[in-house]
Amino acid sequence: MVQYEVTVLTGDRLNSTTLNNVFIKLVGTDGESDRKWLMGLKGASSFVRGAVSKFKVSCSTSLGKLVLIELDKKSLPLFPEDSWFCAKVEVKSPEGDIYSFPIYRWIADSKVHRFREGKVFEDNHHLGRYSRQQEIQQREEDYRWDAYAEKMPHSMKAKNPSSLPYEVQFSFTKDSEFFYTASTGLTELKLKGLDNRKEKWDNIDSINRVFCCKKTEISEYVQEHWKEDAFFGYQFLNGVNPMLIQLCTALPSNFPVTDDMVFPHGRCSLADEMKKGNIFLCDYKHLDGVKANTINGKKQYLMAPLVLLHKDPHDKLMPIAIQLKQTPSDDNPIFLPTDSEYDWLIAKIFVRSADFNEHQLNVHLLRTHLLAEVFAVSLLRNVPMVHPLSLCIPDDIAERGVEAVPNFYYRDDGLKIWDIIHRFVQGILNYYYKTDSEVEQDSELQKWILDIFEHGFLSQAETGIPQRFTCVTELVKFVTMVIFTCSAQHAAVNSGQFDYGGWMPNTPISLQLPPPTTKGTTSEATMLATFPDVNVTVQGMATLWLLSKQSSDFVPLGQYPEDHFTEEIPRKILKDFQMELEDLSGAIKARNKQLEMPYTCMDPAEIENSVAI
């Protein structure tokens, strides 16, 4: 007789415990064990939350190289069947070899569940191949596509969050905190009797009294500087939407700005400044024709502005012209810094409101949340657990021509994070894929990218998304993009939302008067009447606070609570990845100490490991 030492680790999630009887079978290249009841000295506490329990499994002869294990459980008489979250099983063979089986699954029934060893290898054993096929078939059943809206990325089909497989539901902690934060945020505002007030703001001081309920170091800075042109320009680089600004080498035909407008004293010309790379454009053309909502029975107004900016000799990005609608006309004036205080300020307010909508709909929702769901659902559908794979900022920065803009911390930090992720992905994938042909012949990998192309990008070839992978280099870049999008990019456009939007005048979520059609007609009263009503303002503030708040089960980029990597070289690559992120975090913190306003969104220590909210 030979003995195998089996160690079972129960997860540390809430309700991970099982009081059912647990059984195991070991399957190797030379045979398999009997189904063994795992009864140890701990008795009923063997599989409580966080438990690490050891057992012996006896076999008449060695099973050879272990291929997989089978786990199942049975309820005791008079006891209900429960759910057990098994984290990992480790098996030590009589020869002294250690086999690690990452589980990280809820087992809620009495069926037999097969789990393969954590190392990635070809499935030469028939049960290994069968297990892999079974897993994919079950995943295709559990994770199905749904066309939520025409011309939008497809989403996961589910009646409600509780109908999703246990593994992809929010943790109890995150779920509870989400509703608690929303409730307390609104409660604090309700105490001031503002949530039902549908009237306009009567003065800025009233807005300030609400703002005092919730504020951050950055939001206080925003409140003090929101009217300043330099801060207005700064937000295109380091606010929550750094994705729109681009180098301007020629004015759009629908934006007839002249030298006399922006350089009235003839000190320079637009043509010369364009040649020097000092002129930049923000064009909100995607919003043209978008119908605004009706709130509190009042029609709202959303513009599609064009903004021209100039990098001055002090390296500050200054707005020099704003046109609020796409079609030039007599009733669509080009606003200038030389206009009256409130003409110029109201133009900037309409831009900030447009930026809020562009950011939420395109940059935040579409380009992180909806695409992240596509990447994840396709991965869950097509790639089994033991597989090498568990919007590219360099290209984007180059395409927009903003490589040399000073004080662009989103770009500087983002490119460094991209490089670190790229080295990590390259190391891992080069370990598993030695040749391009191995990539081409990986059917599960090819199904994954085709699923993304069809359901995420609706088979549109012009998106640049490949339909199949032909080489390791292409795969590395795509996987880097997925990780960057779902972590760093989401952090860049999500975590600062309350910082920049908590002070409503800087980022009004809606506006309820049309823009002026002639200059000289605006005043502070006009501005206050244009702002959203009191209740809309406080609801917006509470929402941005909720979206920006870090949960207590926050996991930073590069940290993996679930231990899926079992081989020495990948574990070393992961350790190097974590050290590089730690070094970058230290460098960013040191830089921020020298800045008037720190840029923390791309600090690896502050980046969530996924699109978690």
List binding-site positions for Ca(2+): 82
Q: Output the CA angle 79-80-84, nearest 5 degrees.
A: 110
365: which DSSP letter? I
Q: Which residues are annotated as a binding site?
A: 82, 364, 369, 490, 613
Residue 481: Cβ-neighbour burial (10 angstroms; 0-12, 13-18, 19+): buried
Alpha carbon separation from 356 to 73, 195, 392, 500, 554 (Å, rounded):
52, 21, 23, 10, 26
The residues near 121 (Cβ < 8 Å, ≥ 6 apart) are none
User: What b/e sequence results for 577-611 when a residue is b if at least 16 CB atoms lie within 10 Å of its CB, and e otherwise?
Assistant: bbebbeebbeebeeeeeeeebbbbbbbbebbbbeb
Cβ count near 249 (within 10 Å): 11
Which run of H or E residues covers position 68? strand 66-74
Tell me the backbone φ, ψ of residue 319, rounded to 5 degrees: -70, 135
β-strands 84-92, 2-10 pairing? antiparallel
543: which DSSP letter? H
| Whether the Cβ atoms of residue 570 and residue 240 lie closer than 8 Å to each other | no
Distance CA 238, CA 225 (A): 15
Q: Which two tokens stand for residue 185?
A: 């945020």
Locus of tokens 């069947």: 81
Amino acid occupying residue 72:
D
> Hey, is 2 helix, strand or coil?
strand
The residues near 408 (Cβ < 8 Å, ≥ 6 apart) are 237, 238, 242, 402
Q: Which residues are annotated as a binding site for Fe cation?
A: 364, 369, 490, 613
Which run of H or E residues covers position 76? none
| DSSP character string of 259-311 | HHHH-TT-S--HHHHHHTT-EEEEE-GGGTTPPPPEETTEE------EEEEEE
Spatial CA neighbour of 304 closest among 318, 320, 293, 289: 289
